[in-house]
Amino acid sequence: MALSGLEIYKQLPKTNCKDCGFPTCLAFAMKMAAGQVPLDKCPHVTAEAKAALESASRPPIQLVTIGTDANEVKIGNETQLYRHEEKFYRPTAVAVRVSDALGEAAIAQRADAIGKLCFERVGTQIKVNLVAVCNESGDAGKFEQAAKLAAEKSGLACVLISATAGNLAKAAAVLSGQRPLLYISEASQAEAAAAVAKDNGCPLAVRADGVEAFAELTPKLNSAGVEELILDPGTRGLKETLEALTLIRRLALKNFRAVGYPAIAFSTAEDPTMQAIEASTFIAKYAGVVVTDAIQPWQMLPILTTRQDIYVDPQKPVAVEPKLNPIGEVGADSPVLVTTNFSLSYYSVEGEVEASRVPTYILSVDTEGTSVLTAWASDKFNAETITQAMKKSAIEEKVSHRQLVLPGLVAVLSAGVEDESGWTVQIGPKEASGIPSYLKKQSQA
Ligand code: SF4
């Protein structure tokens, strides 16, 4: 929780010596509260005040890092209960489970498939972050072997899940330097697992039944030298887990330090569709890590799409660069489609143009990232803005015809665009899905 200027001021020497470059301690405190100056600019602050300020300004939810280098994923450090109040910052890490009770070939095959769960959506790659290796065999050797194989074949950072701290120690040792997340499912083993996490420099996930149990457990784990914790409230199933995750987030944001850590949730439904629904729900509220069996692309795409949507800034429309985009081997006869620079609109149009295999120019007009109808309603997509975009793109030098295709939803703009640009306007389909048949028909005409 951010400190106010007055709370910071109370901890300062109050001598107004100006050594920090500000005329008074209060002025310095106000700037620091606004995040515009660091505490170390005051050379006279005492060690006690420094410790108090640093502890009080610690984020309500601990930042936790899993994996290293290209596989590194950071979770936590969130400050809001409702994303519209600011935004959610660190997307949930999605992990897909593999059991060490499978044979070697099956583990390799599954891990390889998990590593390939990567999609492109609205111009961005969305992918699974982690492979979760479960010590279902209970055997340390099999667990160790499975961890090594899963990390190699998936190319991802690992979550190591076991009921035994000793088994976690063996598997963590084979992934030395890769910073896997260690998850101890047996609460009585948590302190032993903390020693393993500390020795290997890994974050630790612990399971406990309820908030009261965490209030006792997490201070002990901190004392054992592990700060990067992840909490499993022990619930399974949609309703109970959603309630537990919400309670943890609420309490953490009220600075209840014992639960000030990201949470981990497991989708355990047997039905494949419910697996995806559970995982998506836990992403929306408020899991830092979700572990699932949903390995099919049709299951994973909606999970990752939910994550992408939840973690964009709700106050900033997702926009693409407004410009002329040639799709395919365009020539002087290629049609010219117009749309806005709202990324979902643009990529829907681009995907359908690619599917049509008709080389086409797409002119995306700067509407500040708003969709066709929204931009039209707010007068950002009109005859003037479209004509300006045409001129800026120099489209008249690239094609020999003078025909422009407007989205069917804004057919009402056609007369104005014709007057303003001097081009002939054709009315395209209302939905992007109608573009392939429209373009094919036009190219045959
Ligand atoms: Fe106050 Fe420290 Fe600035 Fe001096 S350097 S004015 S003590 S905040």
- Residue 303 pLDDT > 90: yes
- What average pLDDT score do residues 342-359 get? 94
- What average pLDDT score do residues 52-56 get? 74
Atom 4 of ligand 1: nearest residue by CA position: 17
Position 436 confidence tier, pLDDT thresholds 50, 70, 90 = very high
The number of beta carbons lying within 10 Å of the beta carbon of residue 434 is 13
User: Distance from the CA of 54 to the center of ligand 1, in angstroms?
Assistant: 17
Beta-bridge mates of residue 97: 132
pLDDT of residue 366: 96
Question: Of the residues 22, 26, 50, 53, which should be mutated to test ligand 1's pocket, given the most ligand atoms within 8 Å of the CB?
Answer: 22
User: Distance from the CA of 50 to the center of ligand 1, in angstroms?
Assistant: 13
Local structure of 363: helix, strand or coil: strand
Atom 3 of ligand 1: nearest residue by CA position: 20
Atom of ligand 1 nearest to the CA of 24: 6
Q: Report residue 136 as tokens.
A: 């279902």
Peptide bond just before 286 cis, omega within 30 deg: yes
User: Distance from the CA of 18 to the center of ligand 1, in angstroms?
Assistant: 5
pLDDT of residue 441: 92
User: Distance from the CA of 291 to the center of ligand 1, in angstroms?
Assistant: 49
Atom of ligand 1 nearest to the CA of 15: 7
What is the pTM (predicted TM-score) of this model? 0.79
Position 238 confidence tier, pLDDT thresholds 50, 70, 90 = very high
User: Distance from the CA of 59 to the center of ligand 1, in angstroms?
Assistant: 25
Q: Which residues does a 6 A CB cutoff place in the pocket of ligand 1? A: 12-13, 15-20, 22, 25, 28, 42, 44
Atom of ligand 1 nearest to the CA of 45: 2
Q: Are 161 and 182 in contact (CB under 8 A)?
A: no
Atom 8 of ligand 1: nearest residue by CA position: 25
Question: Any idea which of 88-92, 120-124, 288-292, 323-327 has the lowest mean pLDDT?
Answer: 120-124
pLDDT of residue 340: 97
pLDDT of residue 31: 87
Atom 1 of ligand 1: nearest residue by CA position: 25
Atom 2 of ligand 1: nearest residue by CA position: 42
User: Distance from the CA of 5 to the center of ligand 1, in angstroms?
Assistant: 14
Question: Any idea which of 104-113, 239-248, 252-261, 419-428 has the lowest mean pLDDT?
Answer: 252-261
- Half-sphere CA count of 333, side-chain side, radius 13 A: 6
User: Distance from the CA of 78 to the center of ligand 1, in angstroms?
Assistant: 31
User: Distance from the CA of 6 to the center of ligand 1, in angstroms?
Assistant: 14
- Residue 1 pLDDT > 60: no
Question: Of the residues 11, 17, 37, which should be mutated to test ligand 1's pocket, given the most ligand atoms within 8 Å of the CB?
Answer: 17
CA-to-CA distance for 142 and 155, rounded, in angstroms? Answer: 19
| Helix 165-174 with 140-154: angle, nearest 10 deg | 40
User: Distance from the CA of 29 to the center of ligand 1, in angstroms?
Assistant: 9
pLDDT of residue 316: 82
- Residue 57 pLDDT > 80: no
pLDDT of residue 430: 94
pLDDT of residue 33: 81
Alpha helices by DSSP H, 263-399: 272-284, 297-310, 343-356, 372-377, 383-393
Q: Are 75 and 289 in contact (CB under 8 A)?
A: yes
Position 338 confidence tier, pLDDT thresholds 50, 70, 90 = very high
Burial 236-255 (b: 16+ CB within 10 A, else e): eebeebbebbebbbebbbee
Position 167 confidence tier, pLDDT thresholds 50, 70, 90 = very high
User: Distance from the CA of 12 to the center of ligand 1, in angstroms?
Assistant: 7
- What average pLDDT score do residues 323-351 get? 95
User: Distance from the CA of 32 to the center of ligand 1, in angstroms?
Assistant: 12
Mean pLDDT across the chain: 94
User: Distance from the CA of 198 to the center of ligand 1, in angstroms?
Assistant: 38
- Residue 328 pLDDT > 70: yes
Position 56 confidence tier, pLDDT thresholds 50, 70, 90 = low
Position 208 confidence tier, pLDDT thresholds 50, 70, 90 = very high
